[in-house]
Amino acid sequence: MKPRAKNHPSSIFNNDGILREVLQSAINAEKIYGVNAQYLIAHAIWESGWGESSISKYKHNLFGYGAYDANPFNGAYYFPTYQEGIYYVAYKIRSNYLEENGPYYWKSPTLEGMNHYYATDNNWSNGIAGVMKSIKPFNTDYYASQPEMITSSVNNKKYGSAIPVGQPRP
């Protein structure tokens, strides 16, 4: 999926209140789980089409987490808030894809390593890297000077794919 233009009026990335919530949640998730906030925002933009996807709007799931190709909307996890979705997905990405003992770790804790198991689109990692570069150009010196990732915190919350009764549906 290619991200659509960010000038759509219904995009959460244009709504100041929600945008602040999403950005702050990504920054907080980086501090808690050690997953880069710039990456989290780029991943959310890429997967949600700038927050315009039905999954992001109705399930607060900016990452399409649990959305398999055969039935994406029904399979995608529902989160009560964007913040809860960002925290949960940051934790899962860290523990499942970025740690050597994670079940979906493949060769290195990088986008390319994640792409092996996370997405069926072989260009997924390049797409997210492109969005990251549009946010802030890559600087090898900056990343080389950063401390090693913190140890992942625990997130024991359980989420499912069903939208609770009374919540908006497409």
**How many Å from the N-terminal Cα to the C-terminal Cα in the chain?**
20
Mean pLDDT of the chain: 86
pTM of the model: 0.82
Q: Give the span between the Cα atoms of 144 and 34, in whole angstroms.
A: 15
Compute the distance between CA of residue 45 and CA of residue 52 in angstroms, rounded to an integer. 9
Is the pLDDT at 131 greater than 80, yes or no?
yes
CA–CA distance, 25 with 145 (Å, rounded to integer):
24
Dist CA 27 CA 38 (whole Å):
8
Catalogue all structural domains in the chain, each as residue range(s) with its CATH number: 13-137 (1.10.530.10)
- Residue 135 confidence class, pLDDT cut points 50, 70, 90: confident
Specify the range with the lowest mean pLDDT, choosing from 88-102, 110-124, 141-155.
141-155
